[in-house]
């Protein structure tokens, strides 16, 4: 008598389908947290990565850490709130490394307070990093990529772009705008061989989130109650999605926001809860 396993073909290990080896990438906000995990994944897959950040000491430490592992990390200090620094980052990368294949817009900030307490300076600061920098980095990269006829741009959005939590109105708005940014630029640039997409993480186990839990700002029990996977996401899980979108295997994905949130956006938020 045949058992169930008798009808199952023998498993054969296949090589990785991700083809990014030899590509040149930029990761903004790459000195720590999610950006560092993304940079590490791209480096592990054989890419050269220019890590851009305003945090000079952390940037150098991260680059030294990667270099000690034999990875091709190149640090670049930049204030991404300044378009001139963004243009300098793109120009530096192309001049030093000869090309630019992938841009990861990751750098972002959070300001948490009631909506009625936000001031114009808060708007300018947060939108300057979370949206303006994304737009001008993408357009600066696209000017070069259009000439080459190919390129991939990945923007880090958030599950908060559709699942709203209180005291984060500016952040939520900025991430919803990022989803719109990749959609409209995806349509405009696809004809030039440029793909722009977004990855929208849920609650990721970064140092910043851990500190928020410790300080009582983030309610871990409530978060876990709405996550179908019943755990927080690991930074590497977000990095894997970014790496896929950077690869040739994602050639048909244009203008999309991919939610990597453990099912949060499909499960919704508990009513009247402040997470």
CA-based nearest residue to 49, from 256, 133, 31, 196: 31
Name 70's Cβ contacts closer than 8 Å, sequence gap at least 6: none
**Active site includes 192?**
no
The C-alpha atoms of residue 189 and residue 9 are separated, in whole angstroms, by: 43
CA-based nearest residue to 103, from 27, 39, 31, 192: 27
Q: Are 103 and 137 in contact (CB under 8 A)?
A: yes
Q: Are 207 and 232 in contact (CB under 8 A)?
A: no
Centroid of chain to Cα 192: 23
Q: What secondary structure letter does DSSP report for 187? A: H
Beta bridge partners of 224: none
CA-based nearest residue to 32, from 69, 60, 68: 60
Catalytic residue among 92, 135, 164, 171: 171
**Residues annotated catalytic, as ranges:** 171
């Amino acid at each position: 008598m045949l058992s169930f396993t008798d009808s199952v073909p023998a498993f054969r290990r296949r090589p990785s389908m991700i083809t990014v080896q030899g590509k040149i990438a930029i990761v903004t906000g790459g000195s720590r947290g999610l950006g560092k995990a993304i940079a590490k994944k791209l480096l592990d897959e054989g890419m050269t990565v220019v890590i851009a950040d305003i945090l000079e000491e952390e940037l150098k430490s991260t680059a030294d850490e990667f270099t000690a592992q034999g990875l091709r990390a190149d640090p670049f200090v930049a204030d991404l709130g300044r378009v001139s620094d963004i243009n300098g980052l793109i120009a530096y990368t192309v001049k030093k490394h000869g090309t630019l294949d992938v841009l990861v817009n990751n750098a972002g900030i959070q300001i948490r307070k009631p909506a009625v307490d936000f001031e114009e300076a808060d708007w300018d600061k947060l939108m300057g990093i979370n949206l303006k920098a994304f737009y001008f980095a993408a357009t600066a990269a696209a000017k070069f990529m259009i000439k080459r006829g190919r390129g991939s741009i990945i923007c880090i959005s958030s599950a908060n772009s559709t699942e709203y939590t209180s005291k984060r109105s500016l952040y939520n708005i900025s991430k919803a705008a990022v989803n719109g940014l990749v959609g409209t630029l995806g349509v405009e640039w696809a004809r030039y061989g440029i793909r722009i997409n977004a990855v929208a993480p849920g609650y990721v186990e970064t140092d910043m989130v851990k500190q928020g839990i410790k300080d009582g700002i983030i309610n871990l029990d409530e978060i876990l109650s709405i996550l179908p996977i019943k755990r927080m996401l690991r930074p590497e899980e977000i990095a894997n999605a970014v790496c896929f979108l950077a690869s040739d295997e994602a050639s048909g994905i244009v203008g999309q926001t991919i939610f990597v949130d453990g099912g949060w956006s499909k499960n919704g938020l508990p009513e009247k809860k402040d997470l």
